[in-house]
Structure 1
Amino acid sequence: MTIAEVCEKYDLSQDTLRYYERIGLIPRVNRNKSGIRDYTEEDCRWVEFIKCMRSAGLPIEVLIEYVTLFQQGEETAQVRKELLIEQRKQLMIRMKDMQKTLERLNDKITRYEQAVVGAEKALKRPED
C-alpha cells in the first residue's frame, strides 16, 4: 500500500505516518524502485496498533518504550505486559473521570431542558 492509501485507511496524515516511522513507532517501511513507501500488512498492523493506543491516550514515550522492548524479543514479554497493565490502569482512571464529566453534563443539560419547558409553560397562559 502507498502512504496515501494507508493514510486514508487509518485516517492519519502523511506527516503523522512519517513521524511515527522516524521516531521508531512503526518499523522502517520498505520502498519500491521509485523510492515510494510500500506498506505491508505487518506495517499496517503496527499503524493500527499505534493509532489505537494513541486514541486510548498512551503517551508517545510509552509507545516508544513498548516498541523498543518488542524489538528486543521474547525475553521482554513480561516487562511489556506490565507496561500495558499500567497503561490499562491509567486508562480506567481517565474513563472514570470522563464518566463523571458526562454525568455532570447530562445533569446540566436536563436542568436547561426543564428551565426551557418551564419558561414555555409560563408564557402560555390560559385564556380568561
Structure 2
Amino acid sequence: MSQSLTQTRYTISEVEARTGLTQHTLRWYERIGLMPHVDRSHSGQRRFSDKDLGWLAFVGKLRTTGMSVADMVRYAELVREGEHTFDERRELLERTRRDVRARIAELTDALEVLDYKIGTYAMNPVAGKAEQ
C-alpha cells in the first residue's frame, strides 16, 4: 500500500480543533493561495494531511512574526514554484527576522521601563501619586 493511502487524513472540523483556526480561516487560506492544494474525499470534503498541519503550524509562526498576509502568500507561491526559489525565500525570511529582532528590541526597551516603574512602586507605593 502506498504511503498516501495509509496517511492520516483530517476533516476541516478536526483541523479546526487541532489548530484553533476556524473553518472560515482555513477555507480563506486555501482560497488566497496560502494553503497548498488540499485533497478532497470522493464527496468533495477537504481532507488535510499531517504535512498540511505542519504547514499550518509554520504559517502560524509567520503570523506571530507579524509577516503580512501578502508576504506569506508570496512565500507559499515560491515554495510551490520549487527549489530555484530558495534564494528569494531565504531573503523573505531574513527580512522578517530583521523585523522581529527590531520588535524584540523595542519590546525589551519597553519592558525595562515597566520594570523600573514597578520597582519604584514596590519601594515606595506613594511614588506614583505625583503622576496622577
TM range (shorter): 0.7 to 0.9
Q: What is the SS of the residue equivalent to 2:46?
A: coil
Match of 2:98 in 1: 89
1: distance between equivalents of 2:116 and 2:60? Answer: 33
Number of residue pairs aligned between Structure 1 and Structure 2: 118
Whether the aligned pair in 1 keeps the contact of 2:36 and 2:76 (CA below 8 Å) is no
1:51 positional shift:
0.7
1:7 positional shift:
1.6
Question: What's the TM-score once normalised by structure 1's chain length?
Answer: 0.83
1:110 positional shift:
2.0
Counterparts of residues 1-128 of structure 1 (less than 5 Å): 1-116=10-125
1:117 positional shift:
8.0
The one-letter amino acid paired with 2:38 is V
Percent of pairs with identical residues: 37
Extract structure 1 runs of 4+ deviating beyond 6 A.
none
1:72 positional shift:
1.1
1:70 positional shift:
1.3
**CA offset digits 1:50-74 (Å, max 9, x no partner):** 1111012111111111111111111
The one-letter amino acid paired with 2:77 is T
Q: What is the SS of the residue equivalent to 2:39?
A: coil
Considering only aligned residues, what root-mean-square deviation do their CA atoms show, in Å? 1.7
Whether the aligned pair in 1 keeps the contact of 2:13 and 2:23 (CA below 8 Å) is yes
Question: What's the TM-score once normalised by structure 2's chain length?
Answer: 0.81
1: distance between equivalents of 2:64 and 2:71? Answer: 13
1: distance between equivalents of 2:119 and 2:25? Answer: 40
